[in-house]
Structure 1
């Protein structure tokens, strides 16, 4: 059976290991996702699978498959037409067809069949059948339409790649991959640049894929819909449980099933880790107390203090022997405990330190026919203090315009705005984009010296004094959240809160949302968040186009 196998793979870009003895297997029909915090090595594992990187030790093996898989060329800076892009992307498949024709012709012309020709013919035929090479051309238009690129079908392939939008260019490599049908499918964040219909098409395609599939994604709904297994690279908790049971764990931990099953398993593991650590520390204190009590035994009791002569030596020797035996027993117990002792659960995970919201009854927000010409259709809305509101809508519906108006207290400058929006102040605000030095909270001092102790609970202490531009995108987002909460606002507005954050951080963020009693408005396209939202909802319709009438 075909499988993609990682066998004790280690890799590093620096002297510090990034991947340590990673072992796992993705078999036929399996759809496995790599999850873990930003920078843990997910994309590196995909590049190792594709042969773009070589492991420092261990091996990546394509069992029962050709190992010549490669990613389609990037379309970002491709010079040429769409048809030429596909010619380059499909070169390995067409080379397969050309070689098959050569072998077939040689067998037909040969006086007798050679065993070498027969073996190669069988191998080529099996691979071509698996990749359905004969329907390659007919699949092109089907996949392009499914991924929202119908304009590139037929004569559309004559378009220059540089004339496409960034989103269209971003979808071209994915389209090429699905059209080419490699034996193993390896995808890094495949839902980027896709709308809902494109994601649905991709999910259907992947569920029907016959070979091994290995992916990364931040789209929790997509993972839920397609995953059969999840490999977690954040193994601290899993390793603690393994240590407590007396064995080692390296690299990754596998859970079977969809994303919800993974979440349940990891939350259960976190609780077990905390319980085991608390029990072990309690046991250690008891053993040490018991051992310390042996000192008083060595001093003897009343009998030793009252004894004289030989009796005194007898009681002293017996007390010392009892004390020594007890210490040795306690030392053995401590050694056995230390062999399975787990580390304290990490205390720097995102805690989202929302201040309690003690607010009087009344309205936190009032909008009256608030509109921005061509960007936000007229909106009237009242939001009570303590309510949570989710704002949804298609691109161009005005979600960001609405949230920016609330945060700044004024409509966008130079826009044709009408109506009014009033709200409680101050408002803690996190924009959709990453921070800039001109943002109110990101002063020159913060930008160069870091967020300081205001990052407690949001950033690891080692990052409190790191320049903002030197932080990863995920940690810059955490810095934005930390500064937005530093003033303990009772009204919080966040545009696309799950952008840039790893899955564990997103889960912690949403748990904090659910528990907070303050006023909250968020805008999001995250399907998992939308499907699990418990508060009020507002779906914005597109604003009329500029100049439209009627």
Structure 2
């Protein structure tokens, strides 16, 4: 039996049907990712499952004694309340029942209540059963254990917590109740990479059912066992993770388009038939006329796939070849070092991702690169002919009282995009804003709509450098994918701050990562490449430290000896016979791999290999990639063994 199910659900706000005869069920132990366009009604469905709202119509079935806990997108707490008390409040009536139990126990010990003895005993038994069912006797231990699991300090006041820690606090309050079903609305918003990974592990270890809304595709891939897509009022279920959903959804939309095209063609033919002359009317079939009337109704009721945002950048003139050059740059605030002796060069056309924990200083480094902030020491040289368009994650550029149209084109009805003049209403329509919405004030927009408006404003200005500070927050998945395509094809320079791992992988060509205490390091590739390179770099650093410690211990133990004999002794201690043989064989292995790779590149370089034998060409391409990996591993192993041996092969 399902924990929760809803059949034939209808829910509408104004003339828009968010749920239109929708069916949904949540099974025990499954983790369901709920996706859909901004404004489709996902949060409304979540509140219905939580029991905080009701549909306009539909049959709801809920398992008896089902415990659900809903964690909203922006949890709110009393800033003066302690973390311990807030988490304890998640126990619901438990503490109240304990107080009642203590009160009844006290009354049983007082002579004046002897005449109520039987009733009090019955009440105590009832309370004890309820408390046993809730496992309430050790409530303080439960709260303390939950705080420890989520790494929270129970004595701290909620007002002193960062946004990320407030999300942890909301989860702690939810988990202490040990719910059968946990409902999360955008749990990854504004979390950094470490917090998102922590949340993934927490959700994978959660024993109950999970229903969550997110636009983080990597999170969906890792956590979800089923995807439910809220599309045009219907809830469509797809077993598996987000990658599996994408394949099946694309196939489904393709079939739908073919069927609709057939339907539209038949309807057009029938409309021609019904309008034929007097002679043709004599041959009309009553059933055929009835079918036409039904087709007209079906056509009018059909909800087509919502159009996608149309993104296009109004590109400025080409910038200089060098966009920014930083040499030994440092910047601190008080005693806190934000950037420590950092050097980098950003070239025209680079797409650079800045990553790190919240508060690491990504925005500060952005301002240094753009020349908007002067360093304490070092040199910053900005390029020539820079036209910068800036996307602000705090949306401070938006005046809440202005209309959308006035925000895009102040005092004008027209805007110029990529050399073409366009009416502002038409341009806003490209970003899915209706004319009525375009006349509304900015304050009436949701978070996702404000981000869309910021993108519209950003792309309306000629620019050869796009600076995007957390552009992906609140954007739905189709808009994210379109933004990725636009940035990938963009000829200018992109500086991107984001915690969306898939977005970084699909857009950036290099990553500048915060490594603590003001240290920043640049890596080639996207997020996944950075993770691999960072792990290998850390492993090599640990190996070098271990080798250095072993060398120091050996030197202290044996005292001063002849330097040459000391080095030989040191190597004999550090390298086993197997490691020594491996070190001696690595140069030949590397040379063999490089020779094979050169031969493959020569075969593939003229472009005819795929015409002659496509399968063989594909095999050679895959082998070339495998050699790249093998060379990297071999070179790193060689370097590690050489370091361990004291630098001699």
Same fold (TM > 0.5): yes
1:42 is aligned to: 42
CA deviation after TM superposition for structure 1 residue 180, in Å = 2.0
Instruction: Indicate how the Cα distance of structure 1 residues 274 and 188 shifts in structure 2: closer, same or farther if over 3 A, else same.
Output: same
**What SS is found at the alignment partner of 1:505?**
helix
Separation of aligned partners in 2, 1:419 and 1:386: 19
SS of equivalent residue, structure 1 residue 419: strand
Deviation at 1:42, TM superposition (A): 2.2
Aligned to 2:532: none
Residue 58 of structure 2 is matched in structure 1 by 58
Provide the TM-score with structure 1 as the length reference: 0.72
C-alpha distance after superposition, 1:493-519 (max 9, x if no partner): 211120231233212222333344443
Aligned to 1:205: 202
Looking at secondary structure, tell me which structure has more helix per residue: 2
Q: Distance in 2 between matches of 1:368 and 1:14?
A: 54
> Does residue 150 of structure 2 align to residue 147 of structure 1?
yes
Alpha-carbon deviation of 1:13?
6.0
1:183 aligns with 2:180: yes
SS of equivalent residue, structure 2 residue 54? coil
Comparing 396-405 with 323-332, greater Cα deviation is found at: 323-332
Would the aligned equivalents of 2:239 and 2:245 in 1 still touch at CA under 8 Å?
yes
For 1:420, the equivalent position in structure 2 comes to 381
The alignment yields a C-alpha RMSD, in angstroms, of: 4.5
Residue equivalent to 1:255: 238
Matched, 1:271 2:274: no
TM-score (norm 2): 0.62
Superposed displacement of residue 171, structure 1: 2.3
**1:352 aligns to 2:352 (yes or no):** no
Are the equivalent residues in 2 in contact too, given 1:291–1:330 (CA < 8 A)? no
Shift of residue 410, structure 1, vs aligned partner: 3.0
Deviation of the 1:174 alpha carbon: 0.9
Asked if 2 retains the 8 angstrom alpha-carbon contact of 1:366 and 1:382, the reply is yes
Q: Residue 369 of structure 1 is aligned with which of 310, 327, 342?
A: 327
CA contact (8 A) 2:68 2:180 kept: no
SS at match of 2:4: strand
Distance 1:4 1:434, change over 3 A: same
Number of the residue aligned with 1:83: 84
CA distance, structure 2, for counterparts of residue 525 and residue 402 of structure 1: 16
1:230-249 equivalence runs, <5 A: 230-233=227-230, 235-236=231-232
Q: Tell me whether 1:393 sits opposite 2:356 in the alignment.
A: yes
Q: Is 1:191–1:217's contact at 8 Å kept on the other side of the alignment?
A: yes
1:410 to 366, 371, 374: 371
Q: Residues 368 and 62 from structure 1, CA distance in 2 versus in 1: closer, same or farther, beyond 3 angstroms?
A: same
Measured in 2, the distance between the counterparts of 1:338 and 1:421 equals: 62
5+ residue gaps, structure 2, are 109-116, 119-123, 333-337, 414-423, 520-649
Query: Relative to structure 1, is the Cα distance of residues 428 and 272 closer, same or farther in structure 2, using a 3 angstrom cutoff?
Result: farther
The corresponding residue for 2:283 is 325
Distance change >3 Å, CA 26–CA 98, structure 1 → 2: farther
**Residue 223 (structure 2) aligns with:** 226
Q: Distance in 1 between matches of 2:405 and 2:387?
A: 22
Q: Deviations over 1:196-225 (max 9, x none)?
A: 444334333333434332222233222221
Q: Secondary structure at the match of 1:429?
A: strand
From 486, 509, 516, the equivalent of 2:483 is: 509
Q: Per the alignment, do residues 381 and 271 of structure 1 end up closer, same or farther by CA in structure 2, a change over 3 Å counting?
A: farther
Aligned 1:327-346 pairs, distance under 5 A: 334=292, 338=296, 341=299, 343=302, 345-346=304-305
Contact 1:75–1:161, Cα closer than 8 Å, also in 2: no
- For structure 1, the 5+ residue unaligned runs are 112-116, 237-249, 299-319, 546-550
1:141, 1:521 → 2: CA distance?
Answer: 43
In the TM superposition, what whole-angstrom CA distance separates every residue of 1:346-400 from its partner, at most 9, and x where no partner exists? 574212123589969x725231327351233444433444342222223344322
The 2-side partners of 1:66 and 1:102 are apart by: 29
- The CA deviation at 1:26 is 0.1
1:313 aligns with none
Query: Does residue 216 of the first structure (1) align with residue 248 of the second (2)?
Result: no
Report the 3-state secondary structure (helix = DSSP H, G, I; strand = E; otherwise coil) of the residue aligned with 2:176: helix
In structure 1, distance between residues paired with 2:443 and 2:138:
48
Please, which of 451, 458, 468 is the counterpart of residue 477 of structure 1? Answer: 451
- Number of equivalences: 486
User: Equivalent residue of 2:202, what SS?
Assistant: helix
Q: Which has the higher contact order (CA 8 A, sep 6+)?
A: 1
Return the alpha-carbon distance in structure 2 between the equivalents of residues 166 and 267 of structure 1: 36
Asked if the contact 1:147–1:201 (Cα under 8 Å) also holds between the matched residues in 2, the reply is no
Over 3 Å counting, the alpha-carbon distance change for 1:541 and 1:15 in structure 2 is same
Q: Please name the residue that 1:433 is paired with.
A: 394
* Counterpart residue number, 1:455: 428
C-alpha distance 461-123 of structure 1, shift in aligned 2 (>3 A):
same
Q: How far off is 1:492 after superposition?
A: 2.2
Residue 488 of structure 1 deviates from its aligned partner by 4.4
